[in-house]
Chain A
Amino acid sequence: MKNKAKLLTYPYIVWMGLFIILPVLLVFLYSITFNEINNIKTISFTINNYKMFFTPVYIQVTLRSIYLAALSTIICLALGYPIAMIIANSKMTSKSILLLLFILPMWMNMLLRTYAWMTILGNNGLINTLLANLGLPTLNLLYNNGAVILGMVYNFIPFMVLPIYTTLSKMDNSLIEVSEDLGANKVQTFIKVIFPLSLPGVISGIIMVFMPAVSSFVIPKLLGGGKDALIGTLIEKLFSLGDWNFGSAVSIVMMFIILLSMAVMNRFDVDKEGGAGLW
Chain B
Amino acid sequence: MDHLGTSVLFAGNNFSRLLGGLWTTIWIALLALLIGLILGTFLGMMRTFKNRPVRLILRLYLEFFRIVPTVVLLFLAYYILPRQLNINLPAEQVAVLTFALWVAAEFSDIVRGALISVPKHQRESGLAIGLTHWQLFRYVLLPQALTLELPATINLATRVVKTTSLLMLISVMDVINIGQQIIEANGQSHPNGIFWVYGLIFFFYFIVDYPLSLLAKKLNAANQH
The reply to whether chain A is a binding partner of chain B is no
> Interface residues, chain A, CB within 8 Å of chain B?
none
By a beta-carbon cutoff of 8 Å, the part of chain B in contact with chain A is none
